[in-house]
Chains A and B, each alone.
Chain A
Amino acid sequence: MKRRSFIKHLGLGVGGPIILNGLGLSALAKSRLFASIADDTDRVLVLIQLNGGNDGLSTLVPLDQYDNLVTVRGNILIDEDDLLPLTGTLGLHPKLGGLKELFDQGKMGIVQNVGYPNQNRSHFRSVDIWTSGSPANEYWTTGWVGRYLDQQYPGYPDGYPNTDNPDPFAITMGYLVSETCQGTASNFAITLSDPFTLNNLAEWNTDEYAGTQFGEELAFVRESIQLTNLYSVRIHAAANNGNSLVEYPSTDLASQLKNIALLISGGLKTKIYTVSLGGFDTHSDQTVEDHPKQGKHSELLETLSGAIKAFQDDLVALGVEDRVMGMTFSEFGRQIRSNGSFGTDHGTAAPLILFGACMGNIILGDNPVIAEDVSVQEGVAMQYDFRDVYGSVLMDWFEMPKSQVKNILYEGFQHIPITTCVPPDATKERPFGSPIELKNFPNPFSSSTTIRFSSAGENIRLSVFNGIGHELTVLAQGKYDAGVHEVNFETGDLSSGNYYIHLKTESGSKTEKMIKAR
């Protein structure tokens, strides 16, 4: 890893080896950088990580599956009458009233059944996958946002901050940097707990160990101190320059979002903010016995909804609403069946919530199908690959060309229309959401079944998943002529039970359940 001297880049002649508090670099750098805070129209993305694996089926309830939900998770299921209807077939958890209001205002969207093939049910590993944007079987050490920023600002942190880019590219609210923002050479995020703190830490040169591994560690500490000081000046100024015009709930999440609103309105040019809300690993006491509206999950969703609603209202009041979009994510959904502890265990896909002025009230994806005989470990089948959501954010929000998106995410990337604000040059091969035909017959089947699917003369991928989210086989892949096609699926020694056919095309994705009988 090459680390050019940070001090050299700023062009400051530093004679002695030592720069102490208030002298030298900090003071000079401050005066150079201070002038350029200004309003602009840069877009901001706020990522809210729901740590622990959010139970999607309690967050967004498929009303058309309600009867079977009673069978498989009756002990934690909220009464149908208490749910907040979004559409005729979807209801939000009663504590998500704030989000419901945003939806009604056209400022919230949902992508259902987001996950990835070969779901890993370890928190640890799945968080790595979600933050890196890697395939489930590969270990990537950079984050998806980090790779995006690497493309835009190669070489970081060498030469940053500078007059063109005086502000941190990404900020994690709290005490641990987000892996999402890990770049090749360094993490693009700085952490922030209190924007009103002005840091002025002593800075020392440790060049005598340059080129050694020990020198690398020294340089890491030294650069962390320097960046903390420099960015602190900018953040402090933006916080004092900024404003917040609405009442927020008194939760940590809300105060973190409030600080973000403050910094955006204060002119900070940070592109990415990450916050997190922990506690979603609800193996037990997700709800209170006989009171499914109460319990840990309710409290968490109330916190989430209240904070997002206040934040969005604040952005409107501050006149910066058009510049900001937000998105939640969580390492996995939970199993369809609840357990006996009024909780749920690690599952598979789940809905992902988007908010902001450009979110319309888009709902993408089909309601998950709940079978009354669903096996114990089964999760919600994936319909949309999380990387397609990420890539679509990069394309539509940060105007990244599709070819670059494929480079930093995966070759199979498909754009999905997550927002109503689309850059004019966003390429759409075909209107998204055109009807896709996907079915199999016979169904149920014993040893083989035929799968019929449609193509509009496009690239497709047709594969079979099992109930815990593993992609068992790919039946068809590549460019298929316009029309209807059929492939045969020989089930071989697969055990009986529920399976899912997943068809991904350039104009959308579809998942259908099929049953292998005994």
Chain B
Amino acid sequence: MNAQATTVVTTLNPYTGPWTFEQAAHLLRRTMYGPSYQQIKSAVDNGMYFTLGSLFEELPLPAPPVNGYYTEDPNVPVGETWVEAVYTNVTEETSYRFRSLTAWTVALMWEEGVHIREKLTLFWHNHFPNASVEDPKFQYRYIATLRNRAWGNFRDLTKEITIDPAMLIYLNGNQNKKEAPNENYGRELLELFTIGKGPLAGPGDYTHYNEQDVQQFARVLSGWRDFGFTNESPDGTFGSFFNPDRHDDGVKNLSFHFNNEVITNMNEQEYTHLIDIVFQQPEVARFICRKLYRWFLFHEIDANIEASIIEPMAQILIANDYEIKPALLALLASEHFYDVQFKGLLIKNPYDHLLSVLKTFDVQVSTPLDQKQDSLYRIWQLTKSLQLSYFTVPEVAGWQAYYREPLYYRNWLNSSTLPLRLDYSDEAVSSGLSAYQGNGEDMLVDVLKILGTLDAPDDPNSVVDELVLIMFPKPISPERKTALKEILIPGLPDFEWTVEYLDYANDPTNPDYYIPVDTKLRALVRAMISMPDFFLS
């Protein structure tokens, strides 16, 4: 049990050790939100490569979000999508559409299956942030772009996002014009989105680029505009366009960091040329590989990990022309990824935390469209209070948990968010999370259902052991197990649980039997979600 940090440096070589529940759980918990017991057991049976194949299985984009309840939109009947529809009453319509959009986003995570796409979509949302662009049509298009390229080509995604209308608004690219350059987007493109800022190497020089590049980038990127924002015009179209009159058509001179590249006017093609130039620098590959590493494995990247993991990952990325999948697959299949010392070191983000209650315990959501939407919208609201929610990235650098030293993931927990996390998860287990405005059944953990999936539900020791396996990253001490069993059968011998359980199993609809079993089991799960182990993945 005493797994002192090993001095053996593991590499990106394929993992060839045993494939058991431990490894399968680690893979699914890091690539999905709250995998179920059954999903993990299937992954054990299927083996590592088959499971990785499922995680990266090609899928079409999900059907777009629909109008859940609002009957006043003349262009969008209830049940139909609004993602291209004209506005007739912006205030009302953006309100119902935003509720629909966020609920849909939560549903995609909840119903993701054994698949990595949703965790990657949030990864990109963290990488290319957006907030306060309050037109759901813009927000939908933006998130669809990220999801569409979840493990696709990083360079292509960067190009698409650079002229995405929501991004043009968020970082003022739409105001960047020849006479008045606005360097906001260009600076972040360098600093946070592609090559990253290195140590200060000289006046205005950040090792990988300098202030001259920031200025020149702003010039190259000038001329792009968004249109149709909350537009009530009859055609309802929106998007981005290039206005040559606003574009700086002069010669741009990049610094020595980019081989003193000279860019002559290419109008609307100029930004793609610029991004091609940036991506010729191998530092771009290292930069994104570090971010993937921190997202999926652990925040600490020392010289060893830089040399034995990041650099080879970056080489794979470059060899594959910046396709994300091969490099990420190499990480997820590596002996390094399954190194025991990384298990349980990642504090779950709020989506991960809530969904590992709701999904692991198979909480059901009301099915009528409006109720389903209001239930899922409530989850979005809860994670917003926990400081992580779609479309509200707090800073252009993303969520602090993924970049802010020295705390990193620990940034999620403090004396404000901790009580809320515990409250919400406890509510889900004890009385049920209510839907938005109470419109829908309370979302309540079904403990009896999980009992039915256990290998030995009649043995209280086994029940505790299996729940630990399902809920925690690592085993717990015999003392804590005893304490947990004490909740299940306070002061009684083990066989009393067996008796109670068998009564219930033989007559599962009899309240005299199922209520006591449910109550005891619920108390056990409540205790377990309050343990520090449940916060970790």
Contacts and interface: CB of A to CB of B under 8 A. Distances in A.
Given A125-B197, A190-B415, A211 B404 contact: no
Contact of B203 (A211, A218, A470): A470
Interface in B190-234: 191-192, 197, 199-200, 202-204, 206, 211, 215
B215 A376 contact: yes
A500 to B, nearest CB: 13
25 contacts: A121-B211, A122-B191, A122-B197, A124-B397, A175-B416, A176-B414, A201-B419, A202-B527, A202-B530, A204-B531, A204-B532, A206-B480, A208-B476, A211-B4, A212-B2, A214-B473, A217-B347, A220-B413, A225-B532, A283-B172, A283-B175, A340-B175, A341-B175, A343-B182, A471-B203
B86 interface: no
Contact of A204 (B175, B203, B480): B480
A187 to B, nearest CB: 7
A376 B4 CA distance: 55
Interface stretch (A26-34, A192-200, A423-431): A192-200
Given A201-B419, A222-B532, A283-B175, 18 more contacts: A18-B479, A122-B187, A125-B197, A176-B400, A190-B414, A191-B415, A204-B531, A214-B3, A214-B474, A217-B345, A218-B533, A221-B536, A224-B413, A340-B182, A343-B182, A346-B183, A470-B203, A471-B203
A172 B415 CA distance: 10
Contact of B344 (A179, A207, A214): A214
Interface in B401-448: 403-407, 410-411, 413-419, 422
Given A208-B477, A211-B2, A340-B175, A123 B396 contact: yes
Contacts of B347: 217, 221
B183 A212 contact: no
A208 B419 contact: no
Interface in A432-458: none
A244 interface: no
B215 A179 contact: no
A343 B414 contact: no
A214 B417 contact: no
Contacts of B199: 137
Contact of B395 (A123, A174, A224): A123
A139 B404 CA distance: 12
B182 A283 contact: yes
B200 A137 contact: yes
Contacts of B177: 340
Nearest to B175: A341
A466 B211 CA distance: 13
Interface of A: 16-18, 20, 118, 120-125, 136-137, 139, 141, 172, 174-177, 179, 182, 187, 190-193, 197, 199, 201-202, 204-209, 211-214, 217-222, 224-225, 227-228, 231-232, 283-284, 339-341, 343, 345-346, 376-377, 466, 468, 470-472
Contacts of A219: 532
A224 B175 contact: no
Nearest to B218: A345
Given A204-B532, A228-B415, A341-B180, A18 B175 contact: no
A18 B74 CA distance: 59
B498 interface: no
Interface in B466-480: 473-474, 476-477, 479-480
Nearest to A18: B483
B535 interface: yes
Contact of A470 (B187, B204, B413, B419): B204
A174 B180 CA distance: 37
A377 B183 CA distance: 10
Query: How many residues of B sit at the interface, in one of the four size bands?
Result: 35 or more
A197 B206 CA distance: 46
B345 A213 contact: yes
A225 B192 contact: no
Contacts of B532: 204, 206, 217-222, 225
Contacts of A220: 410, 413, 532
Contact of A377 (B211, B414, B480, B483): B211
SS class of chain B's interface: helix, strand, loop or mixed?
Answer: loop
B455 interface: no
Contacts of B482: 17
Interface string B501-537: 0000000000000000000000000010011110110
B8 interface: no
Contacts of A187: 407
A468 B1 CA distance: 55
B182 A206 contact: no
Top 3 nearest A-B pairs (CB, nearest first) are A340-B180, A470-B203, A221-B532
Nearest to B191: A122
A474 B172 CA distance: 38
A111 B202 CA distance: 28
Nearest to B185: A283
Contacts of A340: 175, 177, 179-182
A176 B401 CA distance: 10
A316 B235 CA distance: 60
Contact of B415 (A118, A224, A472): A224
A214 B2 contact: no
A225 B406 CA distance: 20
Contacts of B180: 339-341
A136 B344 CA distance: 35
Nearest to B398: A124
Contacts of B203: 118, 466, 468, 470-472
A232 B415 contact: yes
Interface string B74-111: 00000000000000000000000000000000000000
A218 B536 contact: yes
Contacts of A339: 175, 180-182
User: Max chain A CB contacts within 10 Å: which of B404, B411, B416?
Assistant: B416
A5 B311 CA distance: 40
B315 interface: no
Given A175-B387, A206-B533, A201 B477 contact: no
A16 B483 contact: yes
Contacts of B197: 122, 124-125
Contacts of B407: 177, 182, 187
B345 A346 contact: no
Contacts of A341: 172, 175, 180, 182
Given A187-B407, A212-B2, A468-B203, A284 B192 contact: no
A175 B536 contact: no
B158 to A, nearest CB: 19
User: Max chain A CB contacts within 10 Å: which of B396, B422, B527, B531?
Assistant: B531
A201 B535 CA distance: 14
Nearest to B201: A137
B265 interface: no
B286 interface: no
A376 B181 contact: yes
B304 interface: no
Contact of B480 (A17, A179, A470): A17
Contacts of B2: 211-212
